[in-house]
Amino acid sequence: MTTFRAFRIHQDDAGHRAGIETMAIEDLTAGEVLVRAEWSSVNYKDALAGTGKGKILRHYPLNGGIDVAGTVVASADPAFREGDRVLATGSGLSETLDGGYGEYVRLPAAWTVALPASLTTREAMIIGTAGFTAGLALLRMTENRQTPSLGPIAITGATGGVGMLGIDIFTGAGYEVHAISGKADRFDTLRALGATTCVDRHTLAFSGKAMESARYGGLLDNVGGATLAGFLPAIAPYGNAAICGLAGSPALATTVMPFIIRGVSVLGIASAGTARDVRDEVWRRLSGEWKPRHLDTICTKEVALEDVASVFGTMLDGGSFGRTVVRIAG
């Protein structure tokens, strides 16, 4: 019986607890593809799940980590063979399935993605769910006729993982980006990623009117609440607001005016359950023409598996900057 280390999360009569444990491969949740994990990452959902401050897991115990990349050890599906490099993001990891915070993970073949040749497993995890979310937003926006000619894209929560990768991905695709963040001391980094304008969210002033001058071609929003409501009236005709987060608030108080007068579209970006054909297309783009050019800048922290819990508190307190990758192997 092969055993391995994993960051395992429990919730029972004794309450919440999580930490490094030794477990057997045979005890992993079901899946056709057994993978020796090499890298994972830390997302907001991982911090919520690991601390018990959010109801992320649907049952217990499970290994944490909604992202993983590594090498196939065995596969019951002919699409994958021993030695193949693969990745998975979302798709039930650390919700209904054991996640990527373990030296081994068993993945459903339906959600296992062959690692693109132009990416290493570490690069894939710097991108991870955050970059996939930004890429999915760009795909949905362009499918809905978003073009650089409509005007700049505002990206809120710009110093987070989705925000920084979004700046890199959107500017690489030819868009002007205005970065919105409360961390003014990080503006030089955001400009280095490609943002032409950086705005301190503390200085944002919205008129509260149902319509404002059309200053933005579109929006990638990680914040929700009053910030989202403030930007919607300022989006150009037939621009898109891609919504992927609620760091500020899940509430939205607005009017229908931007939608019925300017034809603004609101696009929900739900990365975890993305259809397989769309998932493959996003990763094709992220490893090709949309590959982020500044991954080494965006990856601001690397931790070993046994230290993964040390970053959860900072992330939940809003103090994270960029992406944190988790070194599983070695």
What tens digit of pLDDT does each residue of 98-130 get? Answer: 999 999 999 999 999 999 999 999 999 999 999
What tens digit of pLDDT does each residue of 308-320 get? Answer: 999 999 999 988 8
pLDDT (mean) for 283-304? 98
The CATH number of the domain where 179 resides is what? 3.40.50.720
Instruction: Residue 111: give the domain boundaries.
Output: 3-115+298-327
Map residue 178 onto helix, strand or coil: strand
Measured between alpha carbons, how far is residue 41 from residues 100, 122, 148, 295 in Å? 8, 9, 31, 13
Residue 172: inside a domain, yes or no? yes
What tens digit of pLDDT does each residue of 158-185 get? Answer: 999 999 999 999 999 999 999 999 999 9
- The pLDDT score that the predictor gives to residue 273 is 84
Residue 313: inside a domain, yes or no? yes
Cis? peptide before 61, omega within 30° of 0:
yes
Residue 153 has pLDDT above 70, yes or no: yes
Residue 330 has pLDDT above 80, yes or no: no
| Pair (147, 192) in one structural domain | yes
| Pair (197, 236) in one structural domain | yes
Query: For residue 33, how many other CB atoms are within 10 A of its CB?
Result: 24
Phi-psi region of 143 (alpha: psi -120 to 50; beta: other; left: phi over 0): alpha
Amino acid at position 23, single letter: M
Q: What angle do CA 224, 180, 167 make, to 5 degrees?
A: 100
pLDDT (mean) for 222-233? 96
**Which among 85, 109, 93 has a CA at the least distance from the CA of 31?**
109
| Pair (61, 35) in one structural domain | yes
Measured CA to CA, the distance from residue 142 to residue 229 in angstroms comes to 22
Residue 64: inside a domain, yes or no? yes
- The pLDDT score that the predictor gives to residue 320 is 84
The verdict on pTM exceeding 0.85 is yes
What tens digit of pLDDT does each residue of 191-200 get? Answer: 999 999 999 9
Neighbour-count burial for 297-317, b at 16+ CB within 10 Å, e otherwise: ebbbeebebeebbebbeebbe
